[in-house]
Structure 1
């Protein structure tokens, strides 16, 4: 009897959590868990970028900010539908919210948020001091994984006034050898560093 009551209680908790998520509007900085029933290889966690979007295989760039999980599911399903014989079944859930900046008395020095994604040892959002450089941010994130394409590191920057995004490709290997003289490129609020996976023989 106790086991039955415990099972019912757990079920009620799960239903309650699902109901709470159903009305939540996703924000930049949230982490989403995505699963496609028909293709387990597409399962992954994604970070919603400052522009309110994330990238997903076959679907490209998907808008998430301001949408519910069910709306994001529909957008992904539509984007990947051409790769499946039947309409794919997509599940999206919010696994973590953007962590708030910790405040103390007296308040800490002003910080800014930058995003590090891809083949980095500790990817995610980092709060860094103004003036932090590209190389310093990579170092603070633990550097690259063994699969990093160090010659093709992307620095994505969004203009806060126009929303236009510029993408700079940086050759980290050349930087580390001193072959390129922009070692001190300084990051700005909302910058995104993306380290792609290296190709075979790269």
Structure 2
């Protein structure tokens, strides 16, 4: 009996060590969901999505390159970017919340009944969403659970890659209905990314 318990404990320890080693060596990919925890300010804790261009957007830190980095390296980059907002560099821990799903056969074709769009930032359900063709930016925000109390509704961005150059173009959308940017009835295209940033102080 003792031998069996000892073997079980050894197996569990081995699995924990192996999982930890994998997490430290894993290179972040577009589409991954990352859990970010800031020890000194738990209000910043959240899950962020790695955008198709390999970047992540985080409050007070801005946009950072994530793809190709380990979780530890990204944590260090976030800590450095957040440092001006703290008396000392904060302790930032990054872990994998979920891996990017494998591409579906034929997913690049835009002829199906649904398209894939990405929503990140201050919405109820960030991540990859399937939207019916013809869905507008206003409708997809509703599909994602709406804006959180920390959202900056006047600075929502639609990021769309240029088919020829691959450059990610940015368009501003004011959820309050005013301004000169795109309107709520703008129809989404496959691969579009909607970014809802956090409010600034006094915004």
SS at 1:100 equivalent: coil
CA distance in 2, matches of 1:184, 1:31: 28
Structure 2 CA distance for partners of 1:161 and 1:74, relative to 1, 3 Å: farther
Q: Quote how far apart the aligned CAs of 1:28 are.
A: 0.9
Q: Give the corresponding residue for 1:136.
A: 139
* Residue-pair matches, total: 196
CA distance in 2, matches of 1:6, 1:38: 37
Q: Give the corresponding residue for 1:193.
A: 194
* 8 Å CA contact 2:49, 2:126 repeated in 1: no
Instruction: Using structure 1 for the length normalisation, give the TM-score.
Output: 0.73
Identify the match of residue 27 of structure 2 among 20, 25, 28: 25
Gaps of 5+ in 1: none
Q: Quote how far apart the aligned CAs of 1:99 are.
A: 2.4
Instruction: Using structure 2 for the length normalisation, give the TM-score.
Output: 0.73
Q: Quote how far apart the aligned CAs of 1:71 are.
A: 2.2
Q: CA RMSD in A?
A: 3.6
Q: Quote how far apart the aligned CAs of 1:196 are.
A: 4.2
Structure 2 CA distance for partners of 1:165 and 1:101, relative to 1, 3 Å: closer
Q: Give the corresponding residue for 2:78.
A: 76
Q: Give the corresponding residue for 1:159.
A: 162
Identify the match of residue 119 of structure 2 among 116, 119, 128: 116
Render the CA deviation track for 1:15-70: whole Å, top value 9, x for unaligned.
11111122221111101122234443433221111111112234321101112222
CA distance in 2, matches of 1:99, 1:127: 13
Structure 2 CA distance for partners of 1:61 and 1:118, relative to 1, 3 Å: closer
CA distance in 2, matches of 1:44, 1:69: 15
CA distance in 1, matches of 2:184, 2:41: 42
Matches within 5 A, 1:41-190: 41-100=43-102, 109=112, 111-145=114-148, 148-174=151-177, 182=183, 184-190=185-191
Tell me whether 158-167 or 47-56 shows the greater mean CA deviation: 158-167
